[in-house]
Amino acid sequence: GASVRQPQLEEILELYEFRRALEPFAAQKAAQFITAPELGVLKEVCARQHDLAETLRQSSGHLQNDELMQWFHHEERFHNTLISAARNSHFDRTIRNSRVLTQLFHCHQTIGLKVNLSVAARTWGIHLRIVGALESRNADLAGSLMRTALEQGAQQTLLSSSNALRP
């Protein structure tokens, strides 16, 4: 039978390095070019993430099954919208063709990344702050917040993988 290859910790960290090299720049550029409809998409994603965080607050567990898949869908939608808003076709094509977001979120699922209330609230909060920076056209803040978000994501992944993966 077919088997699914387990991602190695090194591979996951390389995906985060790739994102940290490109996405803060995309956030800075998006602050210059983002449209009201794109901001609307980002706000909608934040609202859906807030809904999922509220579910967690009431259950005091972690997202599972359909809710976890929704979370990853919203994460990917947030980042893809921001990348598109940068209005750099080469950058957009590089990210999309490399499928880095899809690969990373697949790795998260494979290693059993837990999205609990703390993770959900932190992610939702920084996404809201990124949207605020974009809305106010503050490129430096948008880039800095994106860098922070990615660093937090990498740290959470390392924490989650410590039991599931061996470097």
The tens-digit pLDDT sequence of the chain (167 residues) is: 555 555 677 888 888 888 899 999 999 999 999 999 999 999 999 999 999 999 998 987 888 888 988 998 999 899 999 999 999 998 888 887 777 777 777 766 666 677 889 999 999 999 999 999 999 999 999 999 999 999 998 888 787 776 554 44
Q: Is the pTM of this model over 0.85?
A: yes
User: CA-CA distances (angstroms) from residue 89 to 7, 58, 81, 126?
Assistant: 29, 42, 13, 26
Residue with tokens 């809904």: 51
CA distance 164 to 111: 6
Q: How many CB atoms lie within 10 A of CB 159?
A: 12
Residue with tokens 């924490």: 159
pLDDT given at position 34: 98
pLDDT given at position 46: 98
pLDDT given at position 2: 52
Q: How many CB atoms lie within 10 A of CB 119?
A: 21
